[in-house]
Amino acid sequence: MAAKCRRQVKNAILRARIPFKGRLIATAWRGYEHYVSWRANPDDSAVVGDLAVPPARLRVLVAGTPDHTWFLESGRAHTTYLRALLAEHGQPIDEMQSILDFGCGCGRMLRWWKDLPAESIHGCDYNSELVRWCNGHLDFVEARATELSPPLPYEAQRFDLLYALSIFTHLTTDLAERWLSEMHRVLRPGGILWFTTHGRSLTDRLSPREQVEFDEGNIVVHFPEAEGMNLCSMFWPEAAVRRMLSDRFEVLARHDPLADPATAERSRLPHDAYLVRRR
C-alpha cells in the first residue's frame, strides 16, 4: 500500500508540472527521497547470500523505493532477462571479458553478476557515495565515480558489453546524445549496448499536448533542471531512439511492454528496452 501511495504522489507531481524554477524542485525532490528513506524499516538491510543489501537511503536514490525485497527481486529479474536476451542473439554474457554497468547505483544489477567468468566487471555512477558502497561491498566489481556529463574514465574500445538500466529515462536530449556518443567510443567494434527508455507504456504521465508531441516522434522531457535524478523524466518514441542511434548502432531487439506484457512482468521492466550492437 505504501509503495502504491508513493507512485501516486510521484505521478501526480509529474502530471501537475508545477512551474518551479532553477534547482528548487531538485532540492525539494531530494527532501522527499530522504523522507521516504526515513520512513523505511531501519532493520531491513541485511546480507543476502554473501552480499550486503544497501541501506534504505541508497535504495531510494536509485530505485525510488526503500523496499529491499523489490530491490533484490527486480535486479535479479533484470539480469536474468538480459542473460537470456544476449544468449538469444548469439552474445552469451559468459563469453564476455569486460562489462560496464553505466549508472550502477548501489549494485541493483551488478550484485547478480558475481558468478560470471569475465576478467573485469565495472560500474560507474556520478554519485560517489553509491560508488563507494559498491567498492566496499561488491569485491568482484571495480566501480568509478564519473561526472553527470561525459567523458568516461575508460580507454576507447574497452568493453564487450555496456548496459544502462533506467538512465536514459532521466536525462535531457542533449545529454543523452552526448552519452550515446561516449558509449560508442568505449565499446569495442561489435560490442553490445542495452538500455531502457520511457516509451508508450508510460505516456499516461504526459499532458494532451505532450502526447501529441510524442506521437509525432518527438522526445518529451519533464523537469530537465533535475537531470540525472529520478524526478527528471524523458519520454522516447521509438522513432526518436532510432534517430539518435543513427548509423552508429544496429538494433538487434526491442522490448515493448505493451506488445509483450508477459515478458514485462517476468523481467520487471515497465520501460522500453533496446539491445543494439556497435557497428
Is residue 45 in a domain?
no
Is the confidence at residue 221, as pLDDT, over 60? yes
Cell numbers that stand for 45 in this block: 538491510
Residue 22 three-state SS: coil
Q: pLDDT tier at 225 (50, 70, 90 boundaries)?
A: confident
Instruction: Give Cβ neighbours of residue 208 (< 8 Å, ≥ 6 apart).
Output: none
Distance between CA atoms of residues 147 and 151, nearest Å: 8
Phi, psi of 85 (to 5 degrees): -65, -45
pLDDT tens digits, one per residue of 50-86? 899 999 889 988 888 888 899 999 999 999 999 999 9
Question: What pLDDT is attached to residue 257?
Answer: 97
Q: DSSP letters of 58-90?
A: HHHHHHS---HHHHHHHHHHHHHHHHHHHHHTT
* Domain membership flag for residue 41: no
Residue 16 has pLDDT above 70, yes or no: no
Evaluate the omega torsion of the peptide bond into residue 270 and state whether it is cis, within 30 degrees of 0: no
| Per-residue pLDDT, 2 | 45
CA dihedral (45, 119, 147, 177) positive or negative:
negative
Q: Count the domains in the chain.
A: 1
Confidence of residue 1 (pLDDT cuts 50, 70, 90): very low
Q: What is the mean pLDDT of the chain?
A: 88
163 Cβ neighbours under 8 A, 6+ residues apart:
82, 99, 100, 101, 102, 109, 193, 194, 195
Using one digit for the tens of pLDDT, what is the confidence trace for 151-197? 999 999 999 999 999 999 999 999 999 999 999 999 999 999 999 99
Q: Is residue 53 part of a domain?
A: no
Query: How many Å from the N-terminal Cα to the C-terminal Cα in the chain?
Result: 46
pLDDT of residue 3: 47
By percentage, how much of the chain surpasses pLDDT 70?
A: 83
User: Could you tell me if residue 109 is inside a domain?
Assistant: yes
> Which helix (H) or strand (E) element contains residue 32?
helix 24-39
pLDDT at position 231 is 84
DSSP letter assigned to residue 201? G
Closest CA to 168 of 264, 273, 239: 273
Residue 13 lies in a domain: no
Among 27-36, 218-227, 249-258, which range has the highest average pLDDT? 249-258
The answer as to whether 105 is a domain residue is: yes
- Higher pLDDT: 124 or 31? It is 124
Q: Note whether residue 18 is domain-resident.
A: no
What pTM was estimated for this model as a whole? Answer: 0.88
What CATH number does residue 181 fall under? 3.40.50.150
* Residue recorded with cell 539491445: 275
Domain assignment present for 171: yes
C-alpha cell, 46: 541485511
What does the pLDDT read at residue 10? 54
**What is the pLDDT averaged over residues 231-238?**
94
Tracing cell 527521497 back to the chain, one arrives at 33
**Residue 167: which of 123, 221, 228 has the closest Cα?**
228
- Domain ranges, residue 210: 67-278
Note whether 179 and 170 are within 8 A (CB). no
In the numeric block, which cell numbers belong to residue 35?
A: 523522507
